[in-house]
Amino acid sequence: MAPPSEIELELTPEHRLDIIDVNQHVRQEAADFLSRYRQALYCSHHTTAGFLEESLCDRLGQCQDSVQDYFELFQELFPPGADYRHDQMHLRTELSPEQRRTEPRNADSHLTFIGAGVENCVTYTINPQRPVYFIDLDGVNRDHNNEPRRRRTTVIGFNDELPLEQVELTVPVSNHATDSVSLRDPRLGLFDQLHELLARYGISKGRVDIELPSEERHAGLTVNEYETLLMKHDLAEVLHDPLRFMARKGRNMLREPGSIPDKAKNYAKYDLVRVVNAFLDTLGLSESLIERVINKFLAVPAEHFLRMKRSVSLLVSEDEANGQGTIVQGRYQSPILVQWRRAQAQQRRLKVTLVRFE
């Protein structure tokens, strides 16, 4: 059998929401690549572009139109141009004046990535005739003449995977009910531990799977940009009171419920959206009354409002400088632990599995 190998692709989106079949680009790069392997890992190097897990794509019929409908619903929940703190450039003190002029206002894309369950790293069983979609949520910079973004994705083909080690790690969290922690923070030392384990087992091509044990409730994992205003304000607002967030930010949905595609309603797990639409459609209630009703409800649990993941995967590839396996991430990517209720003893446990590709 062929040993694992990888292809790095550069993609150029044509639209802000763009759905690109990566397998088509793989075939153009190496015609026989997909036929040599049983499985492939697809990795995005970006925080507003990634992949859906294979099972969800199957439920969407592997259909580009259905995937488009699915994400258009989340765009209604997180509309562009709302008053997100992340997009208020005068507050972004970590940016230089020049960066503030060019930085895209894309908090809606980050929140859609997290809320819709987009993943930076997915593993698919290879079917050369089946598409694998790279979903770009911010493919053009609308603040700069819709200039296309340059996107990178890595594809590793392999025939088998061998779990070599499973460890449990503990992450300290604050006493705040709503909180987020960057697992890439060097003060935690988590990445140092992972790289020591990769070196110990000689894993040069593989995957690190990070999972919340079943006992860890009211928490999720994502890979995204750990930017203070985005994580501590915009995302925290969604998690703290999803109903009020939707009423205040997603007003387009309340005004035009018919704009939500029927197919998307079938796929998204948003009971509240269907309730609001039913009220408006069948009872003819006004928007102001709906908002008053919403404000009287208790907060909907974030696990019902969002498709927050309970596990994430990270690509391991060989570092050309030293020949050792290293975790591959884009400049702004970080695995992030998010909670929306307090944790016991102010800590969360993670189950980490190291996998080698063969």
C-alpha distances out from residue 274 to 67, 151, 282, 318, Å: 19, 35, 12, 47
Decide: 238 and 113 in contact? Cβ < 8 Å.
no
Per-residue pLDDT of 287-336, as tens digits, reads 454 444 444 433 444 555 567 789 999 999 999 888 899 999 999 999 99
Assess whether pLDDT exceeds 70 at residue 269. Answer: no
C-alpha distances out from residue 267 to 68, 109, 260, 310, Å: 12, 19, 12, 19
Per-residue pLDDT at 246: 63
Q: Of 105-114, 117-126, 236-245, give the lowest mean pLDDT range.
A: 236-245
C-alpha distances out from residue 153 to 1, 9, 26, 88, 140, Å: 24, 5, 11, 29, 17
Average pLDDT of every residue of the chain: 84
Confidence of residue 253 (pLDDT cuts 50, 70, 90): very low
The 10 Å Cβ neighbour count of residue 226 is 20
Per-residue pLDDT of 167-212, as tens digits, reads 999 999 998 888 899 999 999 999 999 999 999 999 999 999 999 9
- Answer CATH for 5-357 from 3.40.50.300, 3.30.470.10, 2.30.30.60, 2.60.120.460: 2.60.120.460
- Output the pTM of the full model: 0.84
Per-residue pLDDT at 298: 34
Domain residue ranges in the chain: 5-357
